[in-house]
Structure 1
């Protein structure tokens, strides 16, 4: 599960992001698809090491936010990874409200 890579670095979810993925019934393969094929959806300026991308599927928009971080393991090994910090879904109605 953790061998999925984006730009040569593994994607590793945080505990809360893992829960968000499970809630939506998605996997890290879906996150990879969003990062590779999605559009930049940052509502505000982000730090250079953070990527926020979205993709629309039907009347839903899925968003993934990853941060490039370094992880140190107990044996002293360090590696750079993309840490999935948020995964979410936004729903859209096909019909807009009419103004009165």
Structure 2
């Protein structure tokens, strides 16, 4: 409902889809930090997001790997939707930088 409240007009259909996915990821990642992960697990998990590097999570629990990989997939999907093949790399670079 939050995404619909932010962008309710029909022309913002893609924005609502992306925003909903990102809100869900914020909630999942918040639960990982608050409930599920140990402090030792959170160090490489956080580093993986800062560096955008899956190598950082190789030794972590499967649920953390799934979360990280799914967020990468969604970010790539959004970059492609916005930039297409021509501007995918530029948009992806911008999206990655917004996480810092």
Shared fold (TM-score, shorter chain, > 0.5): no
Structure ID, larger Rg: 1
TM-score by length of 1: 0.31
Question: Which structure's residues are more often helix, by fraction?
Answer: 2
Higher normalized contact order (CA 8 Å, seq sep 6+, divided by chain length): 1
